[in-house]
Amino acid sequence: MANDSFYSTGSESAADTEPAADTESADNGLAADTESAGGEQKAPAHNPKVSVCIPTYNRADILPYAVASVLDQTYSDFELIICDDASQDRTAEVISQWADPRIRYIRHPQNIQRSRNMRSGYDAAKGQYFIKFDDDDALTSTFLEEAVAVLEAEPTVDFVCSDHWIINVLNQRDQAATVANSIKWGKDRLGGIVDDLLYETLVKQSLQVGSSLFRKRSLEAIDFMRFEADGCEDFDLLVRCAIANQTAYFLPKRLMEYRFHGGQTSLNQDIHFLSAKSFCLASYQFCDRPALEQFRLSSLQNLKQVLALRLIEKGETERGRTLITELKQAGTLSNRAKLGQVLSYLPAWARQIVFTGFRQLRAKDYSEKVRNATATTAA
């Protein structure tokens, strides 16, 4: 959630995207049931209980760690679907090293954006249960065993989520960062059935898609991910699960590893994330819960102000000013938005000096602190 510092994005993660394109699937010979675009789908010899999806893009160096974490599971009735969004590195070559018939490789010849790449894996999934996690993260060896056990024992539960470790670029677990992360997002107070899922997903953002195993039918009920939410699709998915009155179960164990990378997100990544989250918040409505509705409106106003500043910094001054004008008509502008409007009339070189100065002076947000800390421990 964006805070009120002048230069804060409030984003946990963001991703560069390419224009969408038609997709096709490629069979690399790893699995007998992989489909080719436009061709007949072959009936699998056995429908697995669980479908694990790892969307990937140009991560040939760290993808093996994610894949190995699935192949090392104590629970074996699964398929692993790797969706490749037109990687230009050695991803296909790396994947060819595995002869495990449970692996299915879907390669798109052109970049189709994160959400569409994820969707291709979801659409191909044959399991009753489904999990999607990123190519730089990993599952602990008992994740599937423990998560499946909950879904089998609790028929009214739609998905089960666990706590997770924070790891650095060397795959090392950071105990201090992990504990701080659990407290920061309120995971340390959860256990069993989640009482108020809407509050936990919208306000606290305590749950994470990458450490959640869903019933496939529960995802089908909300049509999985919306393409318009690309860049913020995980947040949107969990909130829509809550809006649909689904039931979540939280396992207070660290059964997944979430990687923080060093460095900063790019300006384009920030704009993409802020635009997506603004879309998501604008699409919800909580008239029956006034406090949550007020939170939504306040958060949306704040995000749009930060988005306007990012647009102005990038040089899209007209778009930034237009957004500020809309916000002014809807309510009171913050001092930072007013300053941003003034900056939009300065020459590009002068704007950059001011924005660079604010960046150096402002307090680091939570995500930046963790990235810097994990980068330091890795060094």
Q: Closest Cα to residue 250, out of 284, 204, 299, 289?
A: 204
- pLDDT for res 367: 61
Pair of tokens at residue 142? 């008992």
Residues 238, 209 contacting (CB under 8 angstroms):
yes
Neighbours of 248 (CB within 10 A): 25
The fold adopted by the segment(s) 50-259 is Spore Coat Polysaccharide Biosynthesis Protein SpsA; Chain A (3.90.550)
Domain range list for the chain: 50-259, 267-378
Dist. CA 85–CA 106, nearest whole Å: 9
Neighbours of 89 (CB within 10 A): 14
Pair of tokens at residue 261? 């990378």
- pLDDT for res 33: 37
- pLDDT for res 359: 77
Predicted TM-score (pTM) of this structure: 0.84
Per-position pLDDT tens, the chain of length 379: 333 333 343 333 343 333 333 333 333 334 333 433 222 233 356 799 999 999 999 999 999 999 999 999 999 999 999 999 999 999 999 999 999 999 999 999 999 989 999 999 999 999 999 999 999 999 999 999 999 999 999 999 999 999 999 999 999 999 999 999 999 999 999 999 999 999 999 999 999 999 999 999 999 999 999 999 999 999 999 999 999 999 999 999 999 999 987 656 789 999 999 999 999 999 999 999 999 999 999 999 999 999 999 999 999 999 999 999 998 888 778 888 888 899 999 999 998 898 888 877 776 665 656 655 665 555 5
Dist. CA 73–CA 140, nearest whole Å: 8
